[in-house]
Homo-oligomer: A and B are copies of this chain.
Amino acid sequence: MTVSREVELKGHIIDSGMMQSCFGIIMDMGGSFEVEEFRIGRSKTEESYARLLVEADDPDQLQSIVHELHQNGANPSDPNDARLEPAPADQVVPKGFYSTTNHPTDIRIDGMWVPVEDIEMDCAVIVERDDDGHPYAYTEVLNAIEEGDMVVTGEAGIRVQPPERPRGSEGAFGFMQGGVSSERPSETTISNIAEAIAETKAEGGDVLAVCGPALIHSGAREDLARLVREGYVDLLSIGNGFAVHDLERDLYGTSLGMDTESLDHPRKGHKHHIYTISEIIRAGGIEQAIEDGLVDSGVMYECVQNDVPYVIAGSIRDDGPLPETITDAVEAQNAIREQAHQADLVLMLSTLLHSVAVGNCLPSTTKTVCVDINPATVTQLLDRGSAQAVGMVTDIGTFVPMLAEHLFDER
């Protein structure tokens, strides 16, 4: 017995890689297909369209294939409304709930396609109605589901739209399509990233910097502080270690004096680290320490002085931690999520843990720049289906100064 179903691909079906993926899925999973219609958009603004008849040997196989196609942006050409079921208890989803991708997604309700707000991956989709009875949909992480929430289940009435990848000629992000490489011209790549940041700022967008402690160790602190001061960083996402190291430079930099110049006496490091934490706790926190004049330079200082909101997310390897550090992981995720949803461009600078946490909350349409000296880290961060992600394998200690130079020269 051969069973079949018609599916449609719409939009940037070539540029997004959607068509190639869909053909591959069908053949990998043992199905076959006929191309019933195939129209290529003749210009960048015209959409492409393809209609395939997918065939399989039995209904189960067909359903598996259609499921995978659906994840990759192909939709049945005969949609029904999405099916909604109430959550049976707090944190418990109905069986068969739809788990999101990070691509823009619409839900069909009352015959209309309603966009899902704040799309991010691995969430449930909740549908509510406003006072006028109009439906709206949004994502919810598992631990925030409440009993009775109307959760989308199954796959009917759900439309996923993988975004196109930018072409070389279009804007600052067109410059790097092949993902990561350590064999690209470093300075040109950095200047392109600077341009993308400037562009984002010019359009009124928000830049989120996600930073690891290596940034401080490698001597990039002053340049990052300047980027904050000059308005190129709108949001900061860090861990306890980053903040401690930044503050330690302030508190013990002067007394050590030659340290950052001469690299002398590195042995003293860990003592100052724990003394710094102790002094900040004694002062009552970072903001209090700045207000008291105890701390008067660095990244944290510039954030406080320039009203740049920061999230210090705790982890099990923290010393201290500092009073402002959010020690509960779920609470920290919620703070990170809010930043991620606000950001238009995200710089992931030398931190795998925090970058993954932020990346988990990003839609595939947010511009992302990943910088790390470890190629495996960059690859892992880029490998999330984002259409607008560029990665650079370089030294954060030379990257940030060069980026700053390009940004300040450009003005």
Query: Residues on A close to B: CB < 8 A?
Result: 14-15, 17, 19-20, 23-25, 27-30, 32-35, 38, 40, 42-43, 68, 71, 91-93, 97, 99, 121-122, 141-143, 167-169, 175-176, 178, 182-190, 192, 214, 217-220, 260-267, 270-271, 273-275, 277-278, 281-282, 313-321, 327-333, 336, 353-354, 356-357, 360, 373-376, 379, 393-399, 401-402
- Interface-centre pick from A42, A332, A357, A373 (highest chain B CB count, 10 A): A373
- CB pair A142–B319 under 8 Å, yes or no, is yes
- CB pair A275–B99 under 8 Å, yes or no, is yes
What residues on B are CB-neighbors of A142 within 8 Å? 274, 277-278, 281, 319-320
- CB pair A397–B187 under 8 Å, yes or no, is yes
- CB pair A263–B14 under 8 Å, yes or no, is no
A229 to chain B, nearest CB (A): 19
Q: Count copies of this chain in the complex.
A: 4
A362 to B176, CA, bound (A): 29
- CB pair B121–A270 under 8 Å, yes or no, is yes
- CB pair A185–B219 under 8 Å, yes or no, is yes
> Among the listed B122, B260, B395, which residue makes an inter-chain contact with A398, where contact means beta carbons less than 8 Å apart?
B395
- CB pair A278–B336 under 8 Å, yes or no, is no
A17 to B20, CA, bound (A): 8
- CB pair A23–B14 under 8 Å, yes or no, is yes
- CB pair B217–A184 under 8 Å, yes or no, is yes
- CB pair A319–B122 under 8 Å, yes or no, is yes
What residues on B are CB-neighbors of A32 within 8 Å? 40, 42-43
A316 to B326, CA, bound (A): 10
A378 to chain B, nearest CB (A): 11
6 closest Cβ contacts across the A-B interface? A186-B397, A185-B219, A398-B398, A394-B395, A316-B357, A314-B329
A76 to B68, CA, bound (A): 35
- CB pair B93–A278 under 8 Å, yes or no, is yes
- CB pair A318–B329 under 8 Å, yes or no, is yes
A270 to chain B, nearest CB (A): 7
- CB pair A176–B92 under 8 Å, yes or no, is no
- Interface-centre pick from A175, A398, A401 (highest chain B CB count, 10 A): A398
What residues on B are CB-neighbors of A38 within 8 Å? 35, 38
> Among the listed B184, B262, B357, B399, which residue makes an inter-chain contact with A175, where contact means beta carbons less than 8 Å apart?
B262
